[in-house]
């Protein structure tokens, strides 16, 4: 009996070793460990084993069963591992990935966001106003005389009812001050319109960003630091900037801001206009409000504004500003932030 | 305005460094538009006279020259040019000279021989574009003379003068500013006293408002002819054409002092001068050859019979000074800026004169310019002044004094500028201090040429302009201000834009002004359009009522450029007549494949209406419904609702319109209102219980009338208020127009219903009961036949 068991064990292990597919190993398992398998048959023969031999034989039988079972398990695992590996053979990881639909923001939006994020960190809140404005908000309130060249039909789009498309986002300054008392610290991005023929460097519609800060103690020194921080945060700490005295009807003193960046050819580039709000503007607001909330003796402020499209053109080295309105997706796909 | 540096140097010393000059002007608020160098100022380049030369012992092509540099000692120069002889005078650059291109001249050895400088060509001195050999100077040139004295060298600077500073529209004006900025003394031309005696011409002003001050002087016996060299050069240097000595003098004084003048031929005038408004039907033959039709609001200078000049703008041709003229009337006047501006615009003529009068000339300059011109006429054209200066009206010389509180100045600038510095700056500007008792508060007399200084802030601007913003320390004044309504709206738009790019859409920004004809693409319209009164052209005459037309034109452009798979969105303003004249909308368009094909798969899904609807559904709008809608311009259209609020529309273009755009694929469009969207999409930050007990699903396959929409099925099921019903999913639709498999007027649809309780595990029996109730509802409400 022991002899038979040893032979069966050897035969089973040999068959396990030679099996090379799942059905084969399955067959081996059934043949030896199945209900009517060889090993099961022998265990039924236990009844015939003498009482004193029974423990020893039982132990041996168990050992054989365990050995065969683990040989089968090992073989199954081995075959599975082989099959698994087969699935990865000849996979070329250098093949391109499966495309995921991707979208991009327009470069003007990207730039606008960049500037807005910096200014919001500095404590500016957003403000908004309509594109269709009246002459008072666009010109009179901003101290632009009635015979100013900008106010004629050559330079400004008018609607039949006498209203116009705003030529600058400074109109939002006026709207905010009319509605709210100081302190005011706002930025207003938006579209502006000038009756310019469209060419490689001009658009009749462009995007501006306006800023205004009015409070009891706002000085030129505050304006300077705001602009410096804005420029350094937006274009990098190594950006040089300078303030060139200029003239705007609605600020005094007034400056144009130039920046210079080695990465952009090291030339001075005009970035924006800024200045201390002219007392005449405050008085126009007071008259419209019917109070003295913006008494120039009590409050002061600064304003700034710049063109996003022109800035995009400079920063991205665009050969033609009309690329910004054409919206060729091959162009749009080039920008990210 | 252009000015000549040589000319400026008559009044104030100017540093040679044009870059520094440019900065100086720039930071004083005078924008430099261009600098043109003519000839040049070359320190250490002098006239050299060749005494002798021999061939270079070590180089065939070089000569060893002995050159007289004016010092008395011969200087040895090695030279490669051959176009000179003994006795030739040439430019000689001495060691230390720096030629254009930063070419430094040093003493050195050339092929073993000492060379103590360099003889120069015209090209090396930037006088000519190229040159053969040395520049040969006139033989009588004196060795040692600085070369710049022989060359017509000058620097012409073009500056942009802002409208508030008309005092800078002349050479003396610029020189006065430079003198201030560099703390130097301004030297203005000496003037002789005004001529005495009774005027030889009568002058009468009938329009004292528009012409507060008019003067005329008669000069007899002048000889009209070409201007002397110096005068002609002054004018040509700034781009003016010399005409004759009298006209040139008036132009010279205009450019020197900023006061426009005019000279009439006395013989062509009938009687005296009347300043008046034109009469109906009068015309003037102007000097530029045009005939001006005059209107009654135009100010003219007239003689007894007819207008002879358009006041402040242009003289008349018949009375102009010509070769034959022997007696002139010299006009110097002050005209009201608005009057000149209006007339100039109406008649379409502008001139150097009108440019200055429009901006305002110095009232005090009327007399001094006349005196200056008289001096020059007598000197250049001869003749004699007849009588005194005839005059009508009087100059308004005194301007309102302006009070400046120095503390106020310091506060507004945020800079600690000392009292004496403020006083120094304003004094140098020509203001006079009426020192009052209070310290730190001064009342300043304003010079007549600075009419722009009327308020305290104007003086503060002058102080900082001269003091320099670079000397103001930066300061941070932070103050917290809460987010505004605009902030919240902006943040929402930004959030939506991010969702859109996440869904694979590119952002387009199209123009607000569109062609009205393109509004056939306002597919969700029609709307009442707003139009521009003075458009640049038909292409931009209407304010867009929708973003769709613009986006479709972008689609067309891209398809034409071979990009056929497109997902575009725009967040922008639209306009229409009515209560909500301006609003912001989110528009999207989609066409072509939704996933690009690649090496893994060659079959791509092409976007259809449900692709775009899926994008809108991904916004997380609760209670989102779409209602079938009919629009002529669309093959398919649905109105998108959140509850009872319409958010906008969604649709597919007709295949014909899509083909017009260049594609056979569906073109899907949607436009949603931003305000409505913001109301509809809540910010969610709250916990809802996650189901702990398993759900059970039961499928329904049924035949429904062909026109029963999915929404009706969902509504019927929902409205039954079955407590256990958790979800409804449609998973199959089948129709057969032939009627073989399904009757032609029916459709076969399959739904999967999910049942769930949040309190317990459901029993089969209760789910079966619930499901039976659902089927009963479908059968009774919609006439469903079940295919079991």
Tell me what ipTM this predicted complex has: 0.83
Band the pLDDT of A63: cuts 50, 70, 90: confident
Token pair in block for residue A68: 């065969």
Q: What pLDDT does residue B544 have? A: 96
φ, ψ dihedrals at A199, nearest 5°: -145, -165
Closest C-alpha among B86, B75, B80 to residue B116: B75
Angle at B338 between CA B337 and CA B343, to 5 degrees: 105
Mean pLDDT of A91-120: 90
With a cut of 70, which residues of chain B have pLDDT below it?
Answer: 39-41, 126-131, 436-439, 477-479, 788
Distance (Å, whole) CA B595 – CA B600: 12
Terminal-to-terminal C-alpha distance of chain A: 82
- Taking an 8 Å cut-off on Cβ atoms, the answer to whether A102 and B581 are in contact is no
CB-defined contacts A:B, below 8 A: 227
Q: What pLDDT does residue B500 have? A: 95
Looking at the DSSP assignment, which residues form a beta bridge with residue B507?
Answer: B569
Q: Is the peptide bond preceding residue B526 cis, with omega within 30 degrees of 0?
A: yes
Q: Which residues 287-346 on chain B approach chain A with CB closer than 8 angstroms?
A: 338, 341-342
Q: What pLDDT does residue B129 have? A: 53
Task: Identify the H or E element spanning B698.
Answer: strand B696-705
Distance (Å, whole) CA A133 – CA A193: 11
Calculate how close chain B gets to A24, using CA atoms only, in Å: 35
Closest C-alpha among B519, B514, B577, B572 to residue B542: B514
Q: What pLDDT does residue A303 have? A: 97
Cβ distance B31 to A246 under 8 Å? Answer: yes
Cβ distance B87 to B50 under 8 Å? Answer: yes
In chain A, residues with a C-beta closer than 8 Å to the C-beta of B465 are 245, 253
- Taking an 8 Å cut-off on Cβ atoms, the answer to whether B412 and A276 are in contact is yes
Q: What pLDDT does residue B479 have? A: 67
The rounded percent of chain B whose pLDDT value lies above 70 is 98
Calculate how close chain A gets to B184, using CA atoms only, in Å: 22
Q: How many CA atoms lie within 13 A of B528 on its CB side?
A: 6
Using the Cβ of B474 and the Cβ atoms of chain A, whether some distance falls under 8 Å is answered with yes
Instruction: Please report how the helices B171-181 and B18-26 are oriented relative to each other, as an axis angle in degrees rounded to 10.
Output: 90
Q: Closest partner residue to B596 among A99, A205, A255, by Cβ?
A: A99
φ, ψ dihedrals at B699, nearest 5°: -95, 150
Token pair in block for residue B447: 């010079």
In chain A, residues with a C-beta closer than 8 Å to the C-beta of B489 are 126, 128
Best mutation target among B163, B339, B342, B474 (most A Cβ atoms within 10 Å) is B474
Calculate how close chain A gets to B146, using CA atoms only, in Å: 35
Cβ distance A208 to A306 under 8 Å? Answer: yes
3-state DSSP assignment of residue A102: coil
φ, ψ dihedrals at B296, nearest 5°: -70, -10
Cβ distance B124 to B30 under 8 Å? Answer: no
User: The pTM is what?
Assistant: 0.77
Please state, rounded to an integer, the average pLDDT across all residues of chain A: 90
- Taking an 8 Å cut-off on Cβ atoms, the answer to whether A219 and B596 are in contact is no
Nearest chain B residue to A249, by CA: B164
Distance (Å, whole) CA B481 – CA B65: 80
Calculate how close chain A gets to B588, using CA atoms only, in Å: 12
pLDDT per position as a tens digit, A1-16: 677 888 888 888 888 8
Using the Cβ of B417 and the Cβ atoms of chain A, whether some distance falls under 8 Å is answered with no
Q: What pLDDT does residue B302 have? A: 94
pLDDT at residue A301 is higher than 70 = yes
DSSP one-letter string for B61-103? T-EEEEEE-SSSSEEEEEE---S--TT-EEEEEPTT-EETTTE
- Taking an 8 Å cut-off on Cβ atoms, the answer to whether A220 and B415 are in contact is yes
Using the Cβ of B348 and the Cβ atoms of chain A, whether some distance falls under 8 Å is answered with no
Best mutation target among B532, B563, B585 (most A Cβ atoms within 10 Å) is B532
- Beta strands A184-193 and A125-126 are parallel
In chain B, residues with a C-beta closer than 8 Å to the C-beta of A279 are 455, 457
Burial of residue A79, with CB atoms counted within 10 A of its CB: 0-12 exposed, 13-18 middle, 19 or more buried: middle
Q: What pLDDT does residue A142 have? A: 94
φ, ψ dihedrals at B163, nearest 5°: -60, -20
- Taking an 8 Å cut-off on Cβ atoms, the answer to whether B465 and A245 are in contact is yes
Closest C-alpha among B298, B307, B310 to residue B338: B298
DSSP one-letter string for A252-303? EEEEEEEEE-GGGTT--EEEEEEEEEPHHHHHHHHHHHTS-TT-TTT-EEEE
Residues 6+ apart with CB under 8 A from B360: B166, B337, B451
């Amino acid at each position: 009996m022991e002899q038979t068991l040893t032979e069966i064990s050897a035969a089973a292990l040999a068959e396990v070793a030679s099996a090379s597919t799942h059905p084969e190993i399955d067959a081996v398992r059934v043949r030896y460990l199945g209900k009517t398998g060889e090993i099961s048959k022998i265990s039924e023969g236990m009844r015939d084993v003498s009482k004193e031999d029974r423990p020893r034989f039982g132990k041996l039988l168990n050992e054989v069963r365990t050995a065969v079972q683990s040989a089968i398990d090992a073989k199954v695992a081995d075959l599975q591992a082989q099959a698994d590996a087969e699935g990865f053979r000849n996979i070329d990881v250098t093949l391109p990935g499966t495309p995921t639909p991707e979208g991009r923001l327009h470069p003007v939006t990207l730039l606008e966001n960049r500037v807005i994020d910096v200014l919001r960190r500095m404590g500016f809140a957003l403000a908004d106003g309509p594109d269709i404005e009246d002459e008072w908000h666009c010109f009179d309130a901003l101290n632009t005389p009635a015979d100013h060249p900008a106010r004629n039909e050559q330079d400004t789009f008018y609607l039949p009812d006498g209203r116009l498309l705003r030529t600058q986002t400074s109109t939002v300054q006026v709207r905010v001050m009319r509605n709210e008392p100081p302190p005011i610290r706002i930025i207003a991005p938006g579209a502006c319109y000038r009756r310019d023929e469209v060419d490689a460097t001009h658009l009749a519609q462009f995007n501006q960003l306006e800023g205004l800060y009015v409070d009891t103690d706002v000085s030129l020194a505050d304006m300077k630091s705001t602009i410096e921080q804005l420029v350094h945060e937006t274009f990098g700490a190594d950006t040089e900037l300078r303030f060139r005295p200029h003239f705007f009807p609605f600020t005094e003193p007034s400056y144009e801001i130039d920046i210079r960046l080695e990465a952009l050819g090291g030339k001075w580039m005009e970035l924006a206009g800024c200045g201390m709000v002219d007392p005449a503007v405050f008085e126009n607001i007071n008259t419209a409000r019917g109070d003295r909330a913006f008494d120039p003796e009590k409050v002061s402020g600064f304003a700034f504004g710049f063109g996003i499209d022109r800035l995009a053109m400079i920063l991205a080295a665009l050969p033609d500003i009309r690329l910004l309105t054409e919206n060729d997706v091959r162009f749009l796909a080039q920008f990210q932030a | 305005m252009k000015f000549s540096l040589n000319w400026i140097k008559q009044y104030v010393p100017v540093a040679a460094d044009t870059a520094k000059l440019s900065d100086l002007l720039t930071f004083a608020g005078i924008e430099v538009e261009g600098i043109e160098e003519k000839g040049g100022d070359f320190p250490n380049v002098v006239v050299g006279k060749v005494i002798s030369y021999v061939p270079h012992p070590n180089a065939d092509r070089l000569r060893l020259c002995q050159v007289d540099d004016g010092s008395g000692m011969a200087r040895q120069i090695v030279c490669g040019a051959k176009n000179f002889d003994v006795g030739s005078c040439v430019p000689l650059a001495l060691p230390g000279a720096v030629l254009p291109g930063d070419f430094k001249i040093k003493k050195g050895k050339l092929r073993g021989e000492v060379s103590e400088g360099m003889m120069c060509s015209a090209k090396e001195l930037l006088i000519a574009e190229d040159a053969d050999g040395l520049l040969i100077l006139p033989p009588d040139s004196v060795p040692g003379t600085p070369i710049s004295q022989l060359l017509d060298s000058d620097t012409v600077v073009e500056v942009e003068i802002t409208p508030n500073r008309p005092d800078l529209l002349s050479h003396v004006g610029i020189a006065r500013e430079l003198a201030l900025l560099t703390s130097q003394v301004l030297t203005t031309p000496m003037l002789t006293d005004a001529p005495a005696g009774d005027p030889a011409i009568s002058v009468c002003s009938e329009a004292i408002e528009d012409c507060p001050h008019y003067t005329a002087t008669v000069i007899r016996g002048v000889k009209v002819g070409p201007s002397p060299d110096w005068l002609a050069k002054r004018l040509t240097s700034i781009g003016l054409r010399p005409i004759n000595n009298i006209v040139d003098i008036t132009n010279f004084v205009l450019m020197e002092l900023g006061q426009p003048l005019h000279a009439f031929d006395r013989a062509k005038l009938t009687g005296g001068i009347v300043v008046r408004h034109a009469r109906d039907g009068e015309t003037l033959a102007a000097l530029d050859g045009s005939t001006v039709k005059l209107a009654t609001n135009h100010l003219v200078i007239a003689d007894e019979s007819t207008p002879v000049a358009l006041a402040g703008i242009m003289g008349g041709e018949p009375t102009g000074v010509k070769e034959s003229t022997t007696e002139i009337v010299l006009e110097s006047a002050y005209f009201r800026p608005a009057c000149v501006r209006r007339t100039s615009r109406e008649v379409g003529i502008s001139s150097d004169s009108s440019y200055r009068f429009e901006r305002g000339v110095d009232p005090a300059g009327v007399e001094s310019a006349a005196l200056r011109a008289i001096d020059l006429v007598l000197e250049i054209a001869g003749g004699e002044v007849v009588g005194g200066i005839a005059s009508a009206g009087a100059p308004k010389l005194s301007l309102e004094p302006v009070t400046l509180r120095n503390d106020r100045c310091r506060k507004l600038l945020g800079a600690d500028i000392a009292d004496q510095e403020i006083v120094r700056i304003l004094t140098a500007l020509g203001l006079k201090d009426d020192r009052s008792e209070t310290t730190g508060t001064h009342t300043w007399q304003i010079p007549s040429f600075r009419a722009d200084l009327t308020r305290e802030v104007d003086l503060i601007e002058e102080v900082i302009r001269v003091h320099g913003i670079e000397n103001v320390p930066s300061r941070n004044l932070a103050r917290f201000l809460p987010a505004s309504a605009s902030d919240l709206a902006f943040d929402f738009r930004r959030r939506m834009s991010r969702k859109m790019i996440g869904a694979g859409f590119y952002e387009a920004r199209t123009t607000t002004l569109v062609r009205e004809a393109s509004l056939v693409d306002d597919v969700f319209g029609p709307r009442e359009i707003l139009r521009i009164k003075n458009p640049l052209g038909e292409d931009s005459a209407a304010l867009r009522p929708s973003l769709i037309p613009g986006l479709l034109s972008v689609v067309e452009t891209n398809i034409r450029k071979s990009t056929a798979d497109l997902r575009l969105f725009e967040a922008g303003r639209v306009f229409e007549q009515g209560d909500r004249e301006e609003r912001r909308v989110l528009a999207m368009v989609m066409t072509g494949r939704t996933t690009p094909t690649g090496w893994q798969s060659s079959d791509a899904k092409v976007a259809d209406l449900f692709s775009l609807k899926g994008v809108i559904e991904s916004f997380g709008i609760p209670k989102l419904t779409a209602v079938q809608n009919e629009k002529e311009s669309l093959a398919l259209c649905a109105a998108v609702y959140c509850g009872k609020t319409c958010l906008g529309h969604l649709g597919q273009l007709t295949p014909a319109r899509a083909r017009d755009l260049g594609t056979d694929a569906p073109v899907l469009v949607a436009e949603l209102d931003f305000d409505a969207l913001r109301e509809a999409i809540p910010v969610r930050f709250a916990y809802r219980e996650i189901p702990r007990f398993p759900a059970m699903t039961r499928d329904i396959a049924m035949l429904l009338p062909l026109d029963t929409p999915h929404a009706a099925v969902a509504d019927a099921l929902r409205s039954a208020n079955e407590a256990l019903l958790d979800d409804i999913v449609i998973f199959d639709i089948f129709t057969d127009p032939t009627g073989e498999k399904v009757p032609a007027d029916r459709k076969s649809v399959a739904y999967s219903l999910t049942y769930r309780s949040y309190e317990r595990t459901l029993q089969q029996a209760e789910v079966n009961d619930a499901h039976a109730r659902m089927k009963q509802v479908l059968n009774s409400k919609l006439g469903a036949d079940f295919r079991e």
